[in-house]
Amino acid sequence: MNQFIIPINDWAAGERKFRFHAGIEFFQMFDNQEILDADVNVEATVQKSGTRKVEAVLHLSGTVTVPCDRCLDPLALHVEAEPSEVFTPGEGPDWDLSQAVYDYVCLSLPLQKVHPEGECNPDTVRFLSQEERKDEEAATQNSPFAALKGLFDEK
Ligand SMILES: [Zn+2]
């Protein structure tokens, strides 16, 4: 898929804007299993001042849907990024911005991907918190202190 390609040779010096759209197919291309859906608009403002003097400033905005860390239901996250980095192309007549776009979308996602308080799927949360309690009980019973406690109780 050559969606994010900026042709370098076929225009004269000056500024041009390129608009791209990153949908779910784009993220699948990178084998990203975490992203369930995506709707991200990418705008590249490209400044050309010579054959190999090309710079781009990116602006990404849209939404990306990932599973919620807490309840696993789909969670739509707003993505807004304007990397301050200026991108310059390598060799070749075409400039592929895919990797940069992909990296910046991933970087702009928060570390904690959870629904706002109270908006998680209540069934899943209830189930998970029960599991957690079971784990805690198991941990207490297996601890050496639990055994000691038993000893003292017997006396
Ligand atoms: Zn949730």
Per-residue pLDDT tens digits for 103-155: 999 999 999 999 999 999 999 888 877 887 888 878 777 766 666 665 655 55
Neighbours of ion ligand 1 (CB under 5 A): 68, 70-71, 115, 120
Ligand 1 centroid distance, CA of 71 (Å): 4
Going from the Cα of 77 to the center of ligand 1, the distance in angstroms, rounded, reads: 12
The domains of the chain are located at: 5-115, 121-155
Distance (Å) from CA 122 to ligand 1 centroid: 9
pTM: 0.75
Q: Cα-flanking dihedrals φ and ψ of residue 94, to 5°?
A: -115, 150
Residues 74 and 145: their CA atoms lie apart, in Å, by 41
Rounded distance from Cα 28 to ligand 1 centre (Å): 23
Q: Are strands 74-81 and 37-50 parallel, antiparallel or unpaired?
A: unpaired
